[in-house]
Chains A and B, each alone.
Chain A
């Protein structure tokens, strides 16, 4: 009985704290980040994702504007230009995801035949290659990189790629450095916030 009470009070403290956090937010409608864990992009075709619904879009819908981004391996496409029928555009900016509160006004580009809007190696990740120390042939997201999307419907999304490996592993461990025990690649964990009211403020 005593334990139950203790647990209850702990729970209420947590709830109370949660309420306090949201009440300090100055926005009329606080935006919460959606975290997607282990999105499997190991296949041979793109996995399409819709920021509004937070769902994967069927591959048969590739020629629609139902999706915002597509992921295959280490490549991320936006729904525009050579990649889709939409008008989406994107850019990578520097900053901390939680602090980043305003999407840039300009600087967005669409996918072209020469280059994708989202640069992979050197853009949002570093490929370690035959590094002399640490994990080899690994794709490690660069800290402080935020992907900002201007979606086809005019809304803005900020996104941070947390992991390229199944289970969001600690990439400093021996288990990760050893390629035999390294978790599957091309399995994403990421978080994002979309501002539904069309403003650039998150």
Chain B
């Protein structure tokens, strides 16, 4: 380590010296790619290498005045040009690189490597949702658009979450501009909190990314990249009204010049909610009103230093009705919930020299919600439960280009988190430190490897080391093979460590692993325990949930009109945390705590096809095959120890392995079929999007807690969304759409699905 550090310092000093003394000639130029200025191109002149900036510009200083200038960039053909310099400053002007990519309009992604990189040059399975796709799909919130992506299934459990590679919503990380969104309820980060109004693109990296992003990145990482200001003043207003009293208004305004960049986004979103089950008092989704405000600003102080600030405010009010039965009388309840999420993110970017940069990012986020339930008749309080979570994280990232083939990305950071809630005895604090490093190396022109390692050290449980390795091999120009292996982990949550909860109506208790021993002792002293199943003092410290995964994929294109991506994956997840009873109370209710219990695996294939049928018409289809199994259940079935009740006779039978359907709420088959079309004059746009989901396990019906019988499945379903847009004038876009055209609902399970929804949306662009 020390030697490596010395080595790096030496290189740093040498390169600085070189810059000081080499002042004979200056070569300037601009590099262009498919979509204008090309950032990150390597320009080599003798021993000097510089990287182009965001305007594609470069400036080289050298004592050499004769030779060959070489410009390279991933996804582009190498550019070579012989120069003989006679003047002290030579201006080469614009140099256009020729693309050699599979996809002519490949996206640049940051999520897979924490640095900008062409999507197709990444070893992991990555997909990008573009701004255009967002607009044509008429999406408002993050869940709307994620639902239409292959290999992603929405789940309803204390909020709308995502299931990726067969893993629950707890196992995916949601980022906004590379910074984590916090505030999970029962493991789910509610996607409806996030508006997509000012999004440039959404990057989805599947499989584990803990080697870069730390905890929670097991199933995948979803990174929302917000819009960057364009030169000059720009403003966009949009409004949308739709069924269920839904209204959405946005204003996006930005200014940019050479030194300064400012943008402000405001969004208001409301709905009357909807009711799917007429037998229940209150709505399935309550009436709500929320606001989002986002500010992004940056100032270039000197050539090398850029100061930035990002702020996000989110606030939501919800109202609903409910009822309870008290003393055999029905009493109506008024339910009010508030939720907030504020974050403040100052950044400092320093270009140490042309090949190295440092970025310091601090993130302070405050998340909280309050649920207040009052009796409707007299207004007295039935229950009130505040929940407040704080996170302060500081991190430093260092990017270095060693030559045109190799670069490293490294970082260090510290996180301080606290929680305040009535279900917790004290105010728990989490402190954690992390450090990571990653090498991204083009070994030859068609072989690239990425290798990374991250360490996380935590105040409340043992540390984690997460390695990863990725390999990409260009077999042919239009055929790439990708492979990545790595670890993911999920730190125990606050509740799993510190919860102290007794259900007021039914009387069961749940204790976190840090509090269980003394809490059980207290219950025992009060004589509330009937039976101790497991002695709390013998419990082992809880550990992080851990995964090991492998992804192997193939990208293929045919004449740039037909693109396919296939990825095969397998994830093995150990130490899954689950609650189990450890004692029975005198009221016949159980006392639960958390254990590292199960081992599951998920495996499958995802395939995507993108076909440009004719200019302006694209057909995108995707298919996902998934198996998600509990290893313990398989072992038990193999040893003949799993039984079920025949529901008509109530006589027991032995379960065979062939009957086992794996984890609940996973569809073996699912897919999407989407058609996007733009008229030749670009005045009309239309889309038809089908979301298909095969049958999935819904509930155990024969009392063995596993999925093993046909009547435990729910039928598959198809959702159809359509939209039509027109530009009556160039600046105005009018869109009409119908989501869920055939009015499919499943009230008790798919609460995120409101039935048929009509909308009209207007966007006006002031530029």
**What residues make up the interface of A, taking CB atoms closer than 8 Å to B?**
74, 94, 96-97, 114-115, 119-122, 126-127, 129-130, 133-134, 140-144, 160, 162-163, 168, 170-172, 189
For the complex, is B530 an interface residue (Cβ under 8 Å from A)? yes
Q: Is the CB of A143 within 8 A of B590?
A: no
Please, could you name 24 A-B residue pairs with CB atoms under 8 Å apart, sorted by A? A94-B643, A114-B530, A114-B531, A115-B530, A121-B584, A121-B590, A122-B533, A129-B508, A130-B506, A133-B699, A141-B650, A141-B703, A143-B643, A143-B645, A143-B652, A143-B702, A143-B704, A144-B652, A162-B651, A163-B650, A170-B648, A170-B650, A171-B703, A172-B702
C-alpha gap A114/B701 in the complex (Å): 33
Interface positions of B from 461 to 514, Cβ below 8 Å from A: 503, 505-506, 508
Contact A172 to B652, CB < 8 A, known contacts A120-B588, A133-B748, A143-B643:
no
Q: Is the CB of A172 within 8 A of B647?
A: yes
Q: Is the CB of B654 within 8 A of A129?
A: no
Interface positions of B from 642 to 677, Cβ below 8 Å from A: 642-645, 647-648, 650-654
What number of residue pairs across chains A and B have CB atoms under 8 A from each other?
Answer: 75
Q: Which of A115, A126, A127 contacts B531 (CB 8 A)?
A: A115
For the complex, is B711 an interface residue (Cβ under 8 Å from A)? yes
Bits for B48-67, please: 1 = Cβ < 8 Å to A, else 0: 00000000000000000000
Q: Is the CB of B647 within 8 A of A144?
A: no
Taking CB as reference atom, which chain B residue is nearest A120?
B588
Whole-angstrom distance from the CB of A96 to the nearest CB of chain B? 6
For the complex, is B698 an interface residue (Cβ under 8 Å from A)? yes
Q: Is the CB of B701 within 8 A of A134?
A: yes
C-alpha gap A142/B643 in the complex (Å): 9
B residues within 8 A CB of A163?
Answer: 650
Whole-angstrom distance from the CB of A145 to the nearest CB of chain B? 8
Q: Which of A127, A133, A143, A189 contacts B644 (CB 8 A)?
A: A143
Q: Is the CB of B590 within 8 A of A126?
A: no
B residues within 8 A CB of A134?
Answer: 699-701
Whole-angstrom distance from the CB of A50 to the nearest CB of chain B? 24
Q: Is the CB of A141 within 8 A of B531?
A: no
Q: Is the CB of B698 within 8 A of A142?
A: no
Q: Is the CB of A141 within 8 A of B530?
A: no
Q: Which of B584, B644, B650, B653 contacts A162 (CB 8 A)?
A: B650
B503, B530, B748 interface centre (most CB from chain A within 10 Å): B530
Contact A96 to B699, CB < 8 A, known contacts A143-B704, A144-B641, A171-B647:
no
Q: Which of A114, A122, A162, A172 contacts B590 (CB 8 A)?
A: A122
The 4 closest A-B pairs by CB, nearest first: A144-B643, A143-B643, A133-B699, A172-B701
Q: Is the CB of A172 within 8 A of B650?
A: no
* Seed contacts A96-B653, A121-B584, A172-B711; 7 additional CB < 8 Å A-B pairs: A94-B641, A129-B508, A130-B505, A134-B699, A134-B701, A168-B650, A171-B703
B residues within 8 A CB of A115?
Answer: 530-531
Q: Which of B505, B531, B703 contacts A143 (CB 8 A)?
A: B703
A residues within 8 A CB of B702?
Answer: 143, 172
C-alpha gap A74/B698 in the complex (Å): 28
C-alpha gap A189/B642 in the complex (Å): 22
Whole-angstrom distance from the CB of A65 to the nearest CB of chain B? 27
**What residues make up the interface of B, taking CB atoms closer than 8 Å to A?**
503, 505-506, 508, 530-531, 533, 581, 584, 588-590, 641-645, 647-648, 650-654, 698-704, 711, 748
Whole-angstrom distance from the CB of A195 to the nearest CB of chain B? 20
Q: Is the CB of B584 within 8 A of A122?
A: yes
A residues within 8 A CB of B588?
Answer: 74, 120-121, 127
Contact A142 to B703, CB < 8 A, known contacts A162-B650, A170-B648:
yes
A residues within 8 A CB of B584?
Answer: 119, 121-122
Whole-angstrom distance from the CB of A163 to the nearest CB of chain B? 5
Taking CB as reference atom, which chain B residue is nearest A116?
B531
A residues within 8 A CB of B590?
Answer: 121-122
Whole-angstrom distance from the CB of B168 to the nearest CB of chain A? 15
C-alpha gap A74/B588 in the complex (Å): 10
Q: Is the CB of B645 within 8 A of A96?
A: no
Taking CB as reference atom, which chain B residue is nearest A114?
B531
B residues within 8 A CB of A168?
Answer: 650
B residues within 8 A CB of A160?
Answer: 652
C-alpha gap A172/B645 in the complex (Å): 11
Taking CB as reference atom, which chain A residue is nearest B642?
A144
B residues within 8 A CB of A127?
Answer: 588-589
Q: Is the CB of B530 within 8 A of A96?
A: no
Whole-angstrom distance from the CB of A130 to the nearest CB of chain B? 6
C-alpha gap A127/B699 in the complex (Å): 16
Q: Which of A96, A133, A140 contacts B698 (CB 8 A)?
A: A133
Whole-angstrom distance from the CB of A3 to the nearest CB of chain B? 29
C-alpha gap A171/B508 in the complex (Å): 24
